[in-house]
Chains A and B, each alone.
Chain A
């Protein structure tokens, strides 16, 4: 699309003109001087980043942004959200238009190596799956020989599908749409037999359909998609702030600190809790943050479980179970490093 080309060209131009300015100061200084964090989110995905009628953003990715803003300013509202397109998201970050990209983005080797960006910790362990209509009577992705699969032009989505079908010696027809609505329409109308995306995204699509019960997400997970926030490369202080904001929420869940009990926890005898909430040690200033940054994040945004349950969990339209996104000591993959 030419409009898209123009947008990318504009991003490229920004890369040409503004990056030096952004490089001059550290991101933390830039953010503090501006008085606001600028966070890149997706164009609108139920549960991850969606603006309501008043333009107020909510979702899992949004809460990650709010946690970072709270760590820096002590205020979850000191953040502006920029909707980023899947094709320009990295350029927007590289050029300094946004401070952090929190947008269901998969951490990969080549992105860290060649895109001029660094990833924080995985905040959501996802994997690509396939969804079909129940009426098709298909129980496994391996039965999809010869099927037509609809998908968005997601980075690795088309490659993972090709790999999966190549490995199982099956053929398929790939139909790629730029626009999520067209993609979903094509799937719901039967133009495609299956739709493929990250499992969390499939849950979003299903939640948005007229009769969610008619669709089933097949058991196979055909890729690993550790979704992580990303920052510009070579600013390790800023990367630390993003990483530890995310880890703090996980650690808070581990320690049983919640929005509701965080004030009481200030009197906790547990030395790690005291360090996390800034009661004793002075961890915050080491990164250029306020002493009470950890307390602020939990108080205003909540711990990982609260953020997950609020946006994605069983009680939401998405109805996702924690799956691999449970703490390490409960059999999951979330493992925050020690706060000491």
Chain B
């Protein structure tokens, strides 16, 4: 066949367009990259990732893992990444819980409640997140007293514009034993719950569920504490000359960011949940009521499980967005990945490499989030039987 004839075939044509398009994109990217590298070489601008191994020589104050000024830039970026993941994952969990309740309350027959929730959703969705971050942060640092006049909520629990400080438990020994015991207990409890529910369905006889499960978690931990060398102590916060030392600190930058991300995402989650519920036919609710199920049980057992199928895909977007939005951290001084990368860029003068790195990280985080959610979606999706 001649090429002209081939092009008359619709599928061949479509394929050709796609190949051309991909080739053009790759070509452009290749041209730009080459050009940038050539220009930088010509101007003697340093390139490459050698800087990652060099000493960072700055400190990060809010770190999930130990970090010293003498550690490398690579470890600094890891600290930033962990901070990003920490705040984003917490925001995702909290916003899902809050959003679900708000979404359900939006549909309440009580006009006061539903209007209030409407106001909540609209106020949070229609103002840029960055402004909310500034607002929450300003509220925290301007309404709470400075650390020297910190409010004492309970003995050892202080609130000030430098955050919340609580006594911390420091393990002297036996942390891993207790952790392993807790893991064993949790697995046993889950297995017990499954068995109990199967038995209830099969025989109609009710088996004690929660009390036994609780005991299954508590017993191994108690045994570990009794039979192994487990010790620790409480680290009490003390007011030093400037700051509270000791204890566990919750920094205001973290709280403001978490608050902003959580509330912002919760409004979107609420809308998604509401639309998911509205997508379920009225007959389902009526049928459940006819069976004698209460409103609460109807929602939990009939409506929400079906609504989940509609909810999951758009929810994935919210989660991915939350990860990306967490990069606004830099505005209010929370040391996330972007902020740490920025400091590194400033210090090394190399811009393209740190940006390429953090873009890659965000890409991977987003892809991982959607992969996980797609897997879950596949599990809850309606299966044709």
Contact = CB atoms under 8 A, between A and B. Distances in A.
Interface of A: 1-2, 4-5, 8-9, 11-13, 15-17, 19-20, 23, 86-88, 90-91, 94, 110-111, 114-116, 136, 143-148, 150, 153-156, 158-159, 161-163, 166, 172-179, 182-183, 185-186, 189-191, 193, 232-234
A219 B352 CA distance: 38
A12 B243 CA distance: 42
14 contacts: A5-B338, A87-B345, A110-B349, A111-B349, A146-B242, A153-B342, A158-B343, A159-B58, A163-B57, A175-B61, A176-B333, A182-B332, A190-B161, A234-B44
Interface of B is mostly: helix
A155 B61 contact: no
B350 to A, nearest CB: 8
Closest 9 CB pairs of A and B: A190-B146, A116-B43, A114-B46, A158-B58, A16-B36, A116-B45, A147-B242, A162-B69, A19-B39
Contact of A177 (B36, B44, B57, B333): B333
A84 B265 CA distance: 33
Contacts of B327: 1-2, 5
A174 B59 contact: yes
Interface stretch (B12-20, B114-122, B134-142, B201-209): B134-142
A9 B36 CA distance: 11
Given A94-B43, A148-B243, 4 more contacts: A145-B242, A162-B59, A163-B57, A190-B147
B241 interface: yes
B173 interface: no
A176 B44 contact: no
Nearest to B344: A153
B346 A146 contact: no
Given A114-B349, A174-B60, A182-B137, A15 B36 contact: yes
Contacts of A12: 36, 351-352, 355
B328 interface: yes
B43 A234 contact: yes
A19 B42 CA distance: 10
Given A5-B355, A189-B161, A155 B141 contact: no
B349 A193 contact: no
Nearest to A2: B327
A135 B39 CA distance: 53
A17 B32 CA distance: 7
Contacts of B212: none
A146 to B, nearest CB: 5
Max count, chain B CB within 10 A of own CB: residue among A19, A88, A161, A234: A19
B347 A155 contact: yes
A173 B59 CA distance: 8
Given A5-B359, A153-B339, A159 B243 contact: no
B242 A1 contact: no
A19 B147 CA distance: 51
B44 A233 contact: yes
B331 interface: yes
Given A116-B40, A148-B242, A155 B346 contact: yes
B328 A1 contact: yes
B40 A156 contact: no
A115 B343 contact: no
Contacts of A145: 241-242
B188 interface: no
Nearest to B350: A114
B85 interface: no
A9 B242 CA distance: 41
Given A148-B162, A174-B58, A232 B43 contact: yes
B146 to A, nearest CB: 3
A115 B162 contact: no
Given A158-B59, A178-B342, A189-B146, A166 B69 contact: yes
B333 A16 contact: no
Contacts of A115: 45-46, 349
A14 B327 CA distance: 24
Nearest to A154: B346
B33 A16 contact: yes
A136 B338 CA distance: 33
B343 A153 contact: yes
B152 interface: no
B32 A13 contact: yes
B163 to A, nearest CB: 9
A88 B141 contact: no
A271 to B, nearest CB: 40
B335 A176 contact: yes
